[in-house]
Amino acid sequence: MQGTWDNHAAQSDADYPDNSTCRLLDLLGQALRWPDEEFKRRYPELIAQIERDCRQQEEWLESMPSVHARQHLEEHARMLGVMHHTAFCVMQGDIAMGRTATFLLADWIRVHAETMDKPLSDAILQKRLRLRPRSRAADDLIDIR
């Protein structure tokens, strides 16, 4: 599996979580369609991919000045703790637990993206727009004196 945050350099910081979230949700959807034996065999890979995605997003977060970064990181840690516990259950043969956790993770990611990732991205975008140097020509076009 490839990292879902691999295209970070090609994206603006404001788009970074949104595009990656879609790729991770696609991966979770694929995992839910795996037959039981494949699900059990590949579940550790799925968890490893989620960890890589979180680690890359956390690196991105740490480069941003944000008072919300700590809360954001704590949410990642709680989610990963649940997924690690679930991985143990799957390895013991409880495939249903893994499928339930995967399904619920997709919902968690949607809520997390909307309540944590999007507001942060919007704030970054707004800050960049405020800091963007304005050209004299642009001022002349807007000035209707």
Q: How far is CA 89 from CA 55, 57, 85, in A?
A: 23, 27, 7
Torsion of CA 98, 22, 118, 50, to 10 degrees: 40
Q: What is the mean pLDDT of the chain?
A: 79
Predicted local confidence at residue 7, as pLDDT = 37
pLDDT in tens, 30-63: 999 999 999 999 999 999 999 998 888 888 777 7
- What contacts 125, CB < 8 A, 6 or more positions away? 12, 14
- Would the pLDDT of 4 be above 50? no
Which tokens in the block code for residue 128?
A: 């960049």
Ranges 72-86, 95-109, 116-130: which has the least confidence: 116-130
The residue extents of the domains of the chain are 10-142
10-142, what's its fold?
Four Helix Bundle (Hemerythrin (Met), subunit A) (1.20.120)
* Residues 74 and 29: beta-carbon distance below 8 Å: no
Amino acid residing at 131:
L
Q: How far is CA 54 from CA 38, 58, 69, 104, 131, in A?
A: 24, 6, 13, 17, 29
How far is the C-alpha of 54 from the C-alpha of 16, rounded, in Å?
13
